[in-house]
Structure 1
Amino acid sequence: MSRRCAITGKGPAVGNNVSHANNKTKRRFLPNLRTIRVALEDGTTMKIKVAASTLRTMKKQSK
């Protein structure tokens, strides 16, 4: 299963690990995904993966 936010589409970003000797090796920055239940219009629920930052934005918009 892909590590991608179902709402915003945020996925892994690529960067470098940098040692004290300034050696660089590739690494991935993974999004902070949370599994939540979403109620659909027909009354059923569905589990989706959403980034924590997206949940914060959704909570902020609902106020």
Structure 2
Amino acid sequence: MARRCFFTGKGPMVGNNVSHANNKNKKRALPNLRSIRIKLEDGTSVKIKVAASALRTMKKKS
């Protein structure tokens, strides 16, 4: 499964590590994903990947 948040769509970001000598190396910044289990109306549960920032927002709003 892709490293992508189910709600916000956050995914990996790319950039450069830049040294003091201005050498550039590619780097990937992965999102802080957590697996959570959500209960649906029919009683079944589904596991989804959610970013930690989205979890904080969901807790704040509920």
Query: TM range, normalised to the smaller chain?
Result: over 0.9
How far apart in 2 are the matches of 1:22 and 1:60? 42
The 4+ residue runs of structure 1 with deviation greater than 3 A are none
- Which residue number corresponds to residue 17 of structure 1? 17
- Residue ranges of structure 2 left out of the alignment (5+ in a row): none
RMSD: 0.8
How do 1:1-63 residues align onto structure 2 when only pairs under 5 Å count?
Answer: 1-62=1-62
Q: Give the Cα separation in 2 of the matches to 1:14 and 1:49.
A: 20
SS of the counterpart of 2:59?
helix
Any gaps of 5 or more consecutive residues in structure 1?
none
TM-score in terms of structure 2 length: 0.93
C-alpha separation in 1, matches of 2:19 and 2:37: 41
TM-score, normalising length from structure 1?
0.91
Residue identity (%): 77
How many aligned residue pairs are there? Answer: 62
